[in-house]
Chains A and B, each alone.
Chain A
Amino acid sequence: NAGVTQTPKFRVLKTGQSMTLLCAQDMNHEYMYWYRQDPGMGLRLIHYSVGEGTTAKGEVPDGYNVSRLKKQNFLLGLESAAPSQTSVYFCASSLSSMNTEAFFGQGTRLTVV
């Protein structure tokens, strides 16, 4: 039972490079989320999706783009990485955002040098 799977688990980027983080869930969940977690800041919502083909901005969307072309996948893109985007990124999914548990992937540790 895979649950929520994130790839890659670790990555080092140079400033200005681009990359895509992939999140896949096999629970048929409607909602998917991307968070970043920084020391002392907790989990901050970057973007989220309430269903296939939809996306919405969270608290800290600048510098990121997302796509939800298939229900099971939620992609997070960094077009031009900056050192300020060094963080741990977590993807999560839930059946809805009401009264239901959110399941998290194991996280992606990204360092931008």
Chain B
Amino acid sequence: RKEVEQDPGPFNVPEGATVAFNCTYSNSASQSFFWYRQDCRKEPKLLMSVYSSGNEDGRFTAQLNRASQYISLLIRDSKLSDSATYLCVATGLVDSGGYNKLIFGAGTRLAVHP
């Protein structure tokens, strides 16, 4: 089982729609979580961090549910420019050597159409 799992999509939505992505993580020891955005043929870039209390940045809202081990990203009023792949990230995953790791999900593709 992958340590971080996401629905690959694609999610095809019209402009103005609200869309939600979920991500689950398998290691209950994970401590920090992020959402990254990756445009086609580009490198991933940080979209937002995910806090236990939930956090909002404009049209984007991230939530963390530690009991169920999932995080979510809600995008309201979708724009054409939101079309991208959204990657879920968990950190603080300690491996057998005692090191922390940064693990990415496979990503969820979003296509916003006019």
Q: Are A and B physically bound partners?
A: yes
> Contact residues of A with B, CB < 8 Å?
31, 33, 35, 40-43, 45, 48, 50, 54, 56-58, 90, 92, 94, 96-99, 101-102, 104-107
A42→B106 contact, CB < 8 A: yes
Residues of chain A with a CB closer than 8 A to B105's CB: 42
A50 touches B102 (CB 8 A): no
B32 in complex: contacting residue of A48, A98, A104, CB < 8 Å:
A98
Stretch at the interface among B14-22, B39-47, B67-75, B76-84: B39-47
Other than the known A56-B97, A101-B34, A107-B43, what 16 A-B pairs have Cβ atoms closer than 8 Å? A31-B100, A42-B87, A43-B44, A43-B107, A45-B101, A45-B103, A56-B99, A58-B101, A90-B43, A92-B102, A97-B102, A101-B46, A102-B46, A102-B89, A104-B44, A104-B45
B57 contacts partner chain A, Cβ-Cβ < 8 Å = no
Complex: A67 Cα to B10 Cα, angstroms: 37
* Cα–Cα distance between A56 and B99 once the two chains are bound (Å): 8
Can you name 26 A-B pairs with beta carbons within 8 Å?
A31-B100, A33-B102, A35-B104, A42-B87, A42-B104, A42-B105, A42-B106, A42-B107, A43-B107, A45-B101, A48-B101, A48-B102, A50-B100, A56-B99, A58-B101, A97-B91, A97-B99, A98-B32, A98-B91, A99-B31, A99-B32, A99-B49, A101-B34, A102-B46, A104-B44, A107-B42
